[in-house]
């Protein structure tokens, strides 16, 4: 599954569990939990994908409040959320995958 589809899928799963926004490490953990292989591409690759998706309008991002990071004694986090275009892109990817599976099944099942 392409990384961008994994990102959207995991992000929407986080949102379904009440997370309106998510940060990169949180997303990486969600992808790892959802992946069959339990592996994930390097975090640098993930952050490049997040930036591409933001530029494409599939995600929005903002920096968290500096006071929150300071109170937690950690660096600022960039927070992301899925846009309606991101929702539509994931729905389209899922429809294409389902159509591909159906096409393969129809070719391999005996008549």
Mean pLDDT, 10 residues at a time, the chain of 111 residues: 87 91 92 69 83 96 96 96 94 86 75 56
Range of the domain at 54: 3-108
Q: What is the pLDDT of residue 36?
A: 60
The whole-angstrom separation of Cα 13 and Cα 6 is: 10
Q: What is the CATH number of the domain that holds 94?
A: 1.10.10.10
Q: What is the pLDDT of residue 100?
A: 79
* Token pair for 23: 């940060």
The whole-angstrom separation of Cα 80 and Cα 59 is: 6
Chain CA centroid to CA 16, Å? 13
How many domains, the chain? 1
SS3 content of the chain, % helix, strand, coil (to 5): 60, 10, 25
């Amino acid at each position: 599954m392409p990384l961008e589809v994994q990102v959207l899928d995991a992000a929407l799963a986080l949102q379904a569990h009440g997370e309106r926004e998510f940060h990169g490490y949180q997303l990486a953990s969600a992808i790892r939990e959802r992946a069959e292989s339990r592996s994930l591409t390097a975090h640098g690759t993930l952050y490049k994908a997040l930036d591409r998706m933001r530029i494409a309008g599939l995600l929005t991002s903002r920096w968290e409040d500096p006071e929150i990071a300071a109170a937690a004694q950690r660096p600022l986090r960039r927070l992301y959320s899925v846009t309606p275009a991101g929702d539509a892109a994931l729905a389209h990817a899922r429809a294409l995958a389902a159509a591909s599976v159906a096409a393969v099944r129809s070719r391999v099942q005996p008549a």
